[in-house]
Amino acid sequence: MKVFGVLLAAVLLTVAVVSLTRSPSASVAAEPVTRQNRLQLTVESLQRKLTRVPTDVSGWAQLGSSYVELARITADSTYYGKAQGALDRSLKLAPEGNGEAMTGMGALANARHDFAAAKDWATRAQAVLPDTAEVYGVLADALTQLGDDRGAMDAVQRMLDLRPNVAAFSRASYHFELHGQQAEAQQAMQRGLEAAASGDEVAFCQYQLGELAFNSGRLDEATTHYEQGLAASPNDPTLLQGQAKVAAARGRVDEALNGYQQVVARAPQYIPEYARLLSSAGRTEDAQKQYDILAKQAKLLAAEGATDDLVAAMTAADRGDKAEALTHAQAEWARRQSVFVADAMAWALHINGRDVEALPYAEKAASLGWRNATFAYHRGMVLAGLGRTAEATQFVTEALAINPHFPDAPEANKWLGSR
């Protein structure tokens, strides 16, 4: 970690000097269309080109990668199949040395949560394009999710060395955050903001800075970042989600619910949060409707080759479906052993009364040093289930110190109050 930090510090200094000549606000003013519109224009242009030149290997690879990005932005899983088709076409035309298509296949596999396949594709692409930053972004994402911390760190460092842009700094920030290095995470993301070259990138960086602040309980700071992000990209759903989350944390439940209602129509990944808030507000029927929508979307994703048993496990746990939560957590653990899945395993085992088995997973979840309130709370409840009350109190108290507004804060306060 020390070497990574030293190298990153050098890159941060370099970009700090370069960024003095760039004005993020000027970039924002020059943004007449959204990233989604630009991508759709790119797709249409590529389609016209490929109609004329159907043997264009790079064109098919670019089209496939554009579909992957559209799927991410729109949450429309049908783009996965389109991406697969375009990338397959590129690889059929040039099966060897086609690093561009291999990188696209890796990004597609990451999007589908097939992180092992993403690692394989990125490794193949790396052999062909060893000096291309995007390759290392795909590799870093896959290795992070697979729990290969050292490999992910090396990939992020290589990405920074090659192209210190928003994509690289955001991954560096996330790596620092996972290791409990909050100041470094914020610094890296701030440098990403300084390197931002478009309104979309500014909005993305402001959202990430807002999340760092929110997850540390700093609501005013988080609000400022979300508002500044919206100034760069009005109606961005992630930033609107941030505002809704802050409203909920401040007890403005109606405002939060209205905010989430607008957000989930465009960003269904926030349905679990919305459903949970509805449940806590006593609107169980409305919450059930959201869970039904989520179940339908999971089927659509599965039909497009994507699975997300991690989200399914935590959603089932929120709903009180103990057996289903454990089934999904075990399925995800069989595919990858990251700290994220370790926490899901710990919690699923805990709610099924299997705390002896849960404890090693809770300890694994804490192994990187991430200051995550939910992880600390889950560990505390596992220890409470084992009768180790003093240790449980320590971790539940720590969870509230990290972020007094995390989703389980009411339950954490209630448990502490009962001691």
Query: Do 159 and 272 share a domain, yes or no?
Result: no
What CATH number should be reported for the domain holding residue 54? 1.25.40.10
Identify the pLDDT of residue 73. Answer: 85
Do 325 and 384 sit in the same domain of this protein? yes
Task: Report if residue 109 sits inside a domain.
Answer: yes
The answer to the question of residue 131 being in a domain is yes
Domain boundary among 243, 275, 307: 307
258: closest CA among 282, 277, 235, 232? 277
Reported as half-sphere exposure (CB side, CA atoms, 13 A), residue 255 has a value of: 12
> Does the residue 197 lie in any domain?
no
Q: Are 31 and 200 in contact (CB under 8 A)?
A: yes
Separation CA 288–CA 77 (nearest Å)? 23
Residue 76 and residue 273: Cα distance in Å, rounded? 19
In sequence order, the 6+-apart residues with CB closer than 8 A to the CB of 196 are 24, 27, 166, 202, 204, 205
Residues 290 and 367 in one domain: no
- Residue 71 to residue 62: CA distance in whole angstroms: 14
| CA proximity to 309, closest of 287, 291, 336, 290 | 336
Q: What is the pLDDT of residue 109?
A: 98
* Cα 174 to Cα 418: distance, rounded to the nearest angstrom: 36
Domain co-membership, 363 together with 297: no
DSSP-derived letter for residue 388 is -
- Stated as kind and residue range, the H or E segment containing 394 is helix 389-402
Query: Taking Cα atoms as reference points, which of 300, 292, 353 lies closest to residue 326?
Result: 353
Q: Which parts of the chain have pLDDT scores under 50?
A: 1-33
Cβ proximity of 342 and 364 under 8 Å: yes
- 288, 307, 326 - which closes a domain: 307
For residue 357, being part of any structural domain is answered with yes
Classify residue 175: in a domain, yes or no.
no
Task: Tell me: do 273 and 158 sit in the same domain.
Answer: no
Q: Is residue 103 part of a domain?
A: yes
222 belongs to a structural domain: no
Model pLDDT, residue 8 = 47
Q: How far is CA 230 from the centre of its chain?
A: 19
**pLDDT given at position 75:** 83
Helical segments of 163-308, H only: 166-178, 182-195, 199-214, 219-232, 237-249, 253-264, 271-280, 284-303
Which residue, 104, 138, 164, sits at the end of a domain? 164
The total domain count for the chain is 3
What is the residue range of 135's domain?
1-19+33-164
Is 14 within a domain? yes
Percentages of the chain per state (helix, strand, coil), in multiples of 5 = 80, 0, 20
Q: Domain check: are 389 and 375 in the same one?
A: yes
Query: Is residue 295 located within the same domain as residue 395?
Result: no
Statement to judge: residues 358 and 398 lie in one domain: yes
341 contacts: CB under 8 Å, gap ≥ 6:
147, 310, 329, 332, 333
Average pLDDT across the chain, whole number: 91
pLDDT value, residue 72 = 87
Distance CA 250, CA 256 (A): 9
Under a CB-based contact definition with an 8 Å cutoff, are residues 310 and 344 in contact? yes
Q: Are residues 146 and 42 in the same domain?
A: yes
> Any idea how long the chain is?
419
Distance of CA 412 to the CA centre of its chain: 25
Q: Are residues 2 and 135 in the same domain?
A: yes
CB atoms within 10 A of CB 3: 10
Query: Is 151 in the same domain as 261?
Result: no
265 shares its domain with 406: no
pTM comes to 0.88
What is the predicted pLDDT for the residue at 42? 93
